[in-house]
Copies of this chain bind each other. A is one copy, B any other.
C-alpha cells in the first residue's frame, strides 16, 4: 500500500519544517497557512498549497487555535488527523470529541526558541523523539500511518497515552520553563551586579525563557495540573541536603545513554510498554516495529508483552 498523502495545516517553524522534511524524503505534501508569506515560503520548498487535504492531516498551529484549525478547510472525511501540540490531554478532549478515533495526538520533542516560517529547518526532526498517543480507542492502523510520517521526517516514535505524555513533559519541559523564569526573575531583582557576573550556568539555566511568553503560558496553563505536581516534586528535591541533591542530579544528568535494538509486535500494550521503558520505535516493518531501549540496566522484560530483544 502506498504511503498516504500528508497535509500540513500551519506552515510555521514546526509545520513548515515537517513539510520540508517530508518533501526531502520524497513524500508528496500538501499544506495550508492563513499567512500568505508562510504559504509562499512553503510552496518554494515544494509543498502543494491547497485547502483540500487528505491522508494524514497534521495540525501544526498554536494550542489556542487547535480547535478551529480545520475551519474553512476541505478535509477528506476519512483522513487521520494528528497535531504537534505540546500538551495532549486538552487537545484529545477537543479533537477526540469532534473526530473520534480519526484523531491521533502527537508531540515532536523539538523546536527552538525561534518561531515562524523563517525558522523552517528540514533537519529539525532528525533524531528527535516524537510522542504519539495510543489511547484505548485509537485505531492502530491510523496510529501506524502517523508514526510513519514521523519516522519519514527523521524522528523516533515514543508510544504514550495522553496522560503519560502530559506528566512526562511537565517534568522535562514545562517545569524547566518555570525554573528558568524564576531564576531570571530572581536575578533581575538581585540587581545589575548579579546580572553583570552572570555567565554560563545562568545563560544555560535561563535560555528557554527567551521563548515567546505567550507560547510558554499556553503550554504551562494547558498542562497546569501535571506541571504543578512536577514543580512540587522539584521543590521536594530542593529541600534535600545539598550533597545528596548534587550527587543524585549529577548521576541522572550524566547517565549512560547506550541503547539496544528490540522488536515489538503491532500491539497497543507492547508499544506502550516500550514507551514506558524509555524506548522508541525506529522503523516499521510488516508485522512488527523495530525500536531501541535504553541500555542502562533496564531488564530485557521491560517490554513484557512481546518485546523481543536482539538485533532487529
Interface residues of A (CB under 8 A from B): 109-112, 128-129, 131, 158, 160, 164-165, 167-169, 171-173, 175-202, 204-211, 213, 216-217, 220-221, 230-231, 233-238, 240, 242-243, 245-255, 275-280, 294, 298
Contacts of A180 in B (CB 8 A): 201, 205, 249, 253
Q: In the complex, what residue of chain B is closest to A245 when comparing beta carbons?
A: B181
Instruction: Tell me the bound Cα distance from A165 to B197 in angstroms.
Output: 9
Contact indicator A172/B190 (Cβ below 8 Å): yes
Q: How far is the CA of A242 from the CA of B219 in the complex (A)?
A: 11
Contact B188 A251 (CB under 8 A): yes
Q: Which of B184, B186, B196 contacts A129 (CB 8 A)?
A: B196
* A237 lies within 8 A of B298 (CB): no
The copy count of this chain in the complex is 2
CA distance A192 to B167 in the complex (A): 12
- Given the complex, which residues of B lie within 8 Å of A165, measured CB to CB? 197
Q: Which of B175, B198, B238 contacts A235 (CB 8 A)?
A: B238
Determine whether the beta carbon of B184 is less than 8 Å from that of A253: yes
Min C-beta distance of A128 to chain B, whole Å: 7
* Residue numbers in B under 8 Å from A177 (CB-CB): 201, 246
Q: Smallest distance from the beta carbon of A18 to chain B beta carbons, Å? A: 16
Q: Do B172 and A198 touch (CB < 8 A)?
A: yes
In the complex, besides A129-B196, A165-B197, A187-B252, 15 extra interface pairs with C-beta distance below 8 angstroms are: A131-B197, A168-B197, A173-B198, A180-B205, A180-B249, A181-B249, A183-B234, A185-B248, A192-B276, A193-B277, A196-B280, A205-B208, A216-B246, A216-B250, A235-B238
